[in-house]
Amino acid sequence: MARKMDTEVRQEQIAEAALRVVGERGVRALNMGAIARRVGIVPSAIYRHFQGKEEVLDAVVNLIGTRLKKNVAAVCDETDDPVERLHMLLERHVRLIRENEAIPRVVFSESVYGGVPERKRRLYRVIKSYLDRVGDIVAEGQRQGRLSDGLEPDQAAVMFLGMIQPGAILWHLSDGEFDVTRQAEKAWEVFRNVLET
């Protein structure tokens, strides 16, 4: 059991290191040597956990999904108020992007999933799962009478993501000059008004 745990920890370290390499230097700079230097191991040690770069990229996509799920679980643990959950989730999502510049690069890079249909489907499932969870929060708010029944929860979830993605792209393209946090807060006020109407 301890060996399995050690393997899982090392795999996560490798995926996180790969995410950092992509964030700093782009997907094309991702190689076993760069990853190994970040983890503090020799490149051949990575092959004990992954067959190659493609499996590492799969692990990066899974890591992004895990972080998104943790954010949803955290806000659901912190409050029962669906409006506050959505606001806190927005703040966490923006923080996740700001602290992991690689995430927009992974999500929007054809070089990550181009030619690998399964990875493209995996990335879609990660995002879809996140949208489903956001939709669940909206539906719960509607059941509680806190949110309007005028929006379908799945459409509200896509709108929620729409508050973040354009700002994340502009933040990425401007090398951090665009204030994605301020943009998200302004968008939140509009979104909240739509939800509560």
Report d(CA 104, CA 174) in Å as an integer: 13
As its CATH architecture, domain 53-196 has Orthogonal Bundle (1.10)
DSSP class of residue 147 equals S
Which of 56, 55, 67, 50 has its CA nearest to residue 126? 67
Greatest extent of the chain over all pairs of C-alpha atoms, in Å: 58
Residue 138: what are its φ and ψ, rounded to 5°? Answer: -60, -45
pTM over 0.85: yes
Contacts of 188 (CB under 8 A, 6+ apart): 87, 90, 163
Structure tokens at 28: 């094309």
pLDDT at 2 exceeding the cut of 70: no
pLDDT of residue 160: 96
Write the pLDDT tens digit of every residue in 50-67.
999 989 999 999 999 999
Question: Which is it for the CA torsion 28, 22, 159, 71, positive or negative?
Answer: positive
∠ at Cα 50 (46, 56), nearest 5°?
95
pLDDT at 197 exceeding the cut of 90: no
Q: Quick count: other Cβ atoms within 10 Å of Cβ 116?
A: 15
| 11-23 mean pLDDT | 93
pLDDT of residue 134: 98
pLDDT at 3 exceeding the cut of 60: no
Tokens 């029962």 found at: 80
Write the pLDDT tens digit of every residue in 105-156.
888 777 777 778 888 899 999 999 999 999 999 999 999 999 999 889 999 9
pLDDT of residue 23: 87
Which of 46, 87, 42, 94 has its CA nearest to residue 68? 94
Write the pLDDT tens digit of every residue in 169-182.
898 889 889 999 99
Q: What is the DSSP string of 56-124?
A: HHHHHHHHHHHHHHHHHHHHHHH-S-HHHHHHHHHHHHHHHHHH-THHHHHHH-HHHHTT-HHHHHHHH
- Higher-confidence position of 105 and 2: 105
Write the pLDDT tens digit of every residue in 87-100.
999 999 999 999 98
Write the pLDDT tens digit of every residue in 18-58.
999 998 888 888 999 999 999 999 999 999 999 999 899 99
pLDDT of residue 110: 76
Helix (H, G, I), strand (E, B) or coil at 7: helix
